[in-house]
Amino acid sequence: MHEAKYKILEDGTFWGEIQSCPGVWANKETLESCREVLREVLEEWLILKLLDRDPLPKVGKIDLNAVVAEV
Prediction pTM value: 0.83
All structural domains of the chain: 5-70 (3.30.160.250)
Q: Give residue 45's identity as a one-letter amino acid code.
A: W
pLDDT band at 8 (very low <50, low <70, confident <90, very high): very high
pLDDT of res. 67: 65
Instruction: Compute the distance between CA of residue 31 and CA of residue 68 in angstroms, rounded to an integer.
Output: 32
Instruction: Compute the distance between CA of residue 66 and CA of residue 43 in angstroms, rounded to an integer.
Output: 19
Instruction: Compute the distance between CA of residue 68 and CA of residue 13 in angstroms, rounded to an integer.
Output: 36
At 25, is the secondary structure helix, strand, or coil? strand
12-71 confidence digits (pLDDT tens): 999 999 999 999 999 999 999 999 999 999 999 999 999 999 999 887 788 878 765 555
H helices of the chain, in order, are 31-51, 64-70
pLDDT of res. 60: 77
